[in-house]
């Protein structure tokens, strides 16, 4: 598969943003992470004074055959029901996106049900759920490629409509299981250490989930040197779609706000596919899912927020829109020492 060409991070624009930060009416560095974020955003966008008025959250949805193994506290039917909730504007992501003045796009990557055509819903269904990865590959390589390409196509279409910054989210009952498998493959950590309770498993369910993930990895032998192989063996259609969103956005200098554990697993894959996407990634928050910290450490990302979130949907990423605006507004709108007639540091 031919991945999109990723531009270099623009160090010149980042440097100019840094220089401006150093002249604003405050001690240098006193706005902390907001200053660093504004500088990163300048380098991503190749604009020394960037703005991001056109925001979108893209939610990828898909089901997982591994739910046959009883690894989720909720039935797979909830995936379809929640997609309908998204479309009706009643989910947490809808509330938080409205607050951030961001549009929400939902993509059916592989929900195990059909939908009527609806505004805000894109159909890129590859199959009605993946196969049970405990008993074989979750998908074939061609399907893995199609899932990534679908993500690229979706974000390119949204960029054509007008998009400055992207938050990514997902919906898929059982998707913490493939995400744990992907995380284990790339971090080398024990499955038990990077696996959480998902939607609320008890102790017995948790130990069973760990066993299923371990058996899936042992049975399928995913090749960590081949991201598409890992995706096909132990991934999900929506996870591949998220990786495609990352690649497609970075190719057009669009910053990507990662959400939690599942989007983090997708980021692991995207960075393996094309390492130059890494500077375009912003970790919105640290999830309470056990493996998320390991993912962020692997990617070298520091989360902006730590709010004990574990919902998914892109909720943490949507909250980070407000910090993005704060960072670039202070960069662009604060007066410099000379403009304000304030004495600078001697």
Residue 32 domain-assigned (yes or no) = no
Residue 5 domain-assigned (yes or no) = no
- CATH of residue 120: 3.40.50.10210
- Tell me which residues are annotated as active site: 313
Residue 24 domain-assigned (yes or no) = no
CA distances from 22 to 89, 304, 318, 325, 344 (A): 42, 22, 29, 19, 10
Residue 102 domain-assigned (yes or no) = yes
Residue 234 domain-assigned (yes or no) = yes
Quote the number of domains for the chain.
1
Residue 336 domain-assigned (yes or no) = no
Percent helix, strand and coil across the chain, each to the nearest 5: 50, 10, 40
Residue 2 domain-assigned (yes or no) = no
- Which stretch of DSSP H or E encloses residue 105? strand 102-110
Q: What is this structure's pTM?
A: 0.97
Residues sharing a CB contact under 8 Å with residue 133, sequence separation 6 or more, in sequence order: 64, 65, 66, 177, 178, 181, 216, 220, 233, 234
Token duo for residue 79: 């995936």
Residue 256 domain-assigned (yes or no) = yes
Residue 122's domain spans which residues?
55-324
The single residue listed with the structure tokens 């990662």 is 258
Tens-level pLDDT at each residue, the chain (346 residues):
899 999 999 999 999 999 999 999 999 999 999 999 999 999 999 999 999 999 999 999 999 999 999 999 889 999 999 999 999 999 999 999 999 999 999 999 999 999 999 999 999 999 999 999 999 999 999 999 999 999 999 999 999 999 999 999 999 999 999 999 999 999 999 999 999 887 778 889 899 999 999 999 999 999 999 999 999 999 999 999 999 999 999 999 999 999 999 999 999 999 999 999 999 999 999 999 999 999 999 999 999 999 999 999 999 999 999 999 999 999 999 999 999 888 877 6
Check: CB of residue 167 under 8 Å from CB of residue 56: yes
């Amino acid at each position: 598969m031919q991945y999109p060409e990723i531009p270099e991070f623009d160090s010149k624009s980042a440097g100019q943003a840094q220089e401006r930060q150093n002249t604003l009416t405050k001690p240098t560095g006193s706005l902390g992470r907001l200053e660093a974020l504004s500088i990163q955003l300048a380098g991503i966008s190749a604009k020394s004074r960037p703005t991001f008025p056109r925001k979108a959250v893209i939610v990828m949805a898909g089901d997982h055959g591994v739910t046959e193994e009883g690894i989720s506290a909720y039935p797979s039917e909830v995936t379809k029901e929640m997609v309908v909730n998204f479309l009706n504007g009643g989910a947490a992501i809808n509330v938080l996106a409205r607050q951030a003045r961001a549009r929400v796009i939902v993509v059916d990557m592989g929900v195990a049900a059909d939908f009527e055509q609806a505004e805000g819903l894109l159909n890129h269904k590859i199959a009605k759920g993946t196969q049970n990865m405990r008993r074989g590959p979750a998908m074939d390589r061609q399907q893995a490629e199609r899932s990534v390409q679908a993500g690229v196509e979706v974000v390119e279409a949204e960029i054509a409509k007008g998009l400055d910054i992207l938050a990514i989210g997902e919906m898929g009952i059982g998707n913490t299981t493939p995400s744990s498998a992907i995380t284990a493959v790339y971090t080398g950590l024990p499955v038990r250490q990077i696996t959480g309770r998902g939607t609320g498993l008890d102790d017995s369910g948790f130990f069973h989930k760990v066993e299923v993930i371990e058996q899936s990895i042992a049975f399928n032998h995913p090749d960590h040197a081949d991201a598409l192989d890992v995706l096909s063996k132990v991934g999900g259609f929506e996870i591949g779609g998220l990786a495609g969103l990352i690649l497609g956005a970075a190719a057009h200098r669009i910053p990507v706000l990662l959400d939690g554990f599942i989007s983090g697993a997708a980021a692991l894959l995207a960075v393996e596919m094309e390492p130059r996407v890494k500077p375009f990634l912003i970790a919105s928050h640290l999830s309470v899912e056990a493996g998320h910290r390991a993912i962020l450490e692997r990617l070298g990302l520091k989360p902006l927020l730590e709010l004990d979130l574990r919902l998914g949907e892109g909720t943490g990423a949507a909250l980070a829109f407000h910090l993005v605006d704060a960072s670039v507004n202070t960069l662009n709108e604060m007066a410099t020492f000379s403009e304000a007639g304030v004495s600078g540091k001697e």
